[in-house]
Structure 1
Amino acid sequence: MNAPLPEAVKKSVLLNGLTPEMRDKLLKDAQRRSYREGETIFLQGDPARAVFIVLNGFIKLSRLTPNGSEAVVAILGRNRSFAEAMVLRGTPYPVSAEAISDCTVLQIDGARLRQFLLENQEFAIGLLASTFVHLQGLVDQIERLKAHTGVQRVAQFLADLSDAVAGPAEVRLPYNKRLIAGHLGMQPESLSRAFARLRKHGVEIEADKAMIADIAELRMMAMD
C-alpha cells in the first residue's frame, strides 16, 4: 500500500498497539477501495475473504430476515473495522455490507491477517479488543431497544453527533432518515413522530440538520 494512512486510522482499535513496522507488514498488500453511495461491498452468504476498515463515509451492515425484510445490524463510520470474526472462523459473511454514502475502505486480505495473528501476540490482543467493540455496540443497541423509548433513542442519536457539552448545538444528520430509523429499530413514521415530540425539548429538524437549543438537556432526557 503506497499512500500513507490517515493518522486517526492508525489508532483504530484493530491497528492500535502495533509498531509502525508491524503495521506496515500487515498492510503490505492492503488495498484502498472506493464505493459510491448504494454500492454493495459484499453480500450475506459470500465467502469471508477480507477484513475492512472504514477510512471515510458510512457502511451499513444488514441482514435479510426470514420474511424477506431488511434488518439493519449496524452503521459504521470512520476508523471502524468489520468482518474480523468471520475471516478468522472461515465462515461466510452473515450480513451484507453496503455503502450508504460515498466512502473509502481499507481491505485487508484474510489469509494475511490469519498468518499475522499466528506470528504476533500483540495483534491478537488488538483483534480481541476490536471484537469486543463490536459486541459492546450490539449490547448497547439491545439495551436501547429494550429500555429506552423511541424518543429517547432519537435524542441519544442526535446528542452523540456533537462533542458539545452544554448549550446550543447544530449537527448534520449523517445519512437519510430511513436509515436512521432502521439503525434505531424504528419505522420511518415513528422517527417522524419522535422528531415532532423533540420540538418541545428545543430540537428543530430542517432537511439534514438538527438545531439543538441545549444539548445537555437533550442528553439528560435521553438517559431518564
Structure 2
Amino acid sequence: MKSSLPEAVKKSVLLNSLNDDMRDRLLRDAIRRSYAEGETIFLQGDPAKAVFIVLSGFIKLSRMTPSGTEAVVAIMGRNRSFAEAMVLRGTPYPVSAEAISDCTTLQIDGTRLRQLLLENPEFAIGLLASTFIHLQGLVDQIEKLKAHTGVQRVAQFLADLTAQETGPCEVRLPYNKRLIAGNLGMQPESLSRAFARLREHGVKVDSSKALIDDIAQLRLLAQD
C-alpha cells in the first residue's frame, strides 16, 4: 500500500509515530476490506493473524459468557486499532468482532508486524503506546461502571458524541440502543429509564438522535 493513506490510518495510535518509509513497509501487504452491518469479521477462538484499523463505521468486540449470553467488551470506531496483543503473542482472538454498521478496515499482516517490531525500537514504543491506550480504556470503563450511576454513564456517552462545549446541540446515536446499553454495562430497560431521567436535564432522545438543551450542563451531570 502506498504512502497516500487515509487520514484514519495516519491518526491511529498504532501508526502515527512511524515515518513514511516504516509505514510503507508495514502496510505493504495490508488489505482494505469493507463489511456490511451484521457481518462477522472474526470469531472468538480464531487464530490471530491480523491487526485491524477502523477506517470508517463501528465494530463490536464481544465475548460469550459461560451462561451463553453476550458481553460487549468494546465498540471500536474510526482511527481505533485492535488485536495487537493477540497477534504479538500468537494467541487466538479472545473476542469476536462484528460490524455494527457498514464499515471499512485496514488489516495488517501479523507476521510483518512482528518482523518490523523486532527490527525497529521506535515502532516497538509506538505499539506499546497503542496497547496502553486499550488498557486505559478498559480501566476507564471499569471506573465508570463502579463509580457512576446509569444516568451519568449515558450522559457521558452523549456528551462524547460532540466536541461542542456550550449551548444547545443535536447528536446522532452512532448505533442502536441495545448496543449502547451493552457498551455501557446496562440492560436495555435500564438505558430506557436513564433516557427518561435525562429529560429532567434537558435531553430528549428519539430512535436515532438526542436533542440537548445545554451540552455544558450535561457534561457537569456526567462528572458529578
- TM-score band by shorter chain is over 0.9
1:147-166 alignment, distance < 5 Å: 147-166=147-166
Secondary structure at the counterpart of residue 52 of structure 1: strand
For structure 2, list consecutive stretches of 5 or more residues without a partner in the other structure.
none
Structure 2 SS opposite 1:143: helix
Q: Considering only aligned residues, what root-mean-square deviation do their CA atoms show, in Å?
A: 0.9
Write the letter of the residue equivalent to 2:70.
E
Deviations 1:27-82 (A, max 9, x none): 00000010000000000000000000000000000000000000000001001000
Distance (whole Å) between structure 2 residues aligned to residue 138 and residue 69 of structure 1: 20
* Letter matched to residue 131 of structure 2: T
How high is the sequence identity, in percent, across the aligned residues? 81
Give, in angstroms, the shift of residue 2 of structure 1. Answer: 5.2
C-alpha separation between the residues in 2 aligned to 1:83 and 1:7?
A: 20
The one-letter code matched in structure 2 to 1:208 is S
Aligned position for 1:78: 78
**Is the 8 Å Cα contact of residues 88 and 110 (structure 2) preserved in structure 1?**
yes
The 10-residue stretch of structure 1 (5-14 or 211-220) with the greater mean CA deviation from structure 2: 5-14
Aligned counterparts of 1:150 and 1:206: Cα–Cα separation in 2: 18
CA distance in 2, matches of 1:2, 1:21: 10
Distance apart, 1:9 and its partner CA: 2.2
Structure 1 residue 206: Cα displacement = 1.9
Equivalent residue, structure 1, for 2:91 = 91
Give the distance between the partners of 2:179 and 2:29, measured in 1 at CA: 33
Structure 2 residue 103 is the aligned partner of structure 1 residue 106 = no
1:57 — aligned with what?
57
Normalising by structure 1, report the TM-score. Answer: 0.98
Q: Secondary structure at the match of 1:78?
A: coil
CA distance in 2, matches of 1:127, 1:97: 21
In 2, the alpha carbon distance for the partners of 1:2 and 1:187 equals 45
Q: Given the two structures, how large is their TM-score scaled by the length of structure 2? A: 0.98
What is the CA distance between 1:5 and its match in structure 2? 1.7
CA contact (8 A) 2:14 2:81 kept: yes
- Give 2:135's aligned residue: 135
**Residue number in structure 2 paired with 1:44:** 44
Cα distance in structure 1, aligned partners of 2:2 and 2:11: 19
SS at match of 2:78: coil
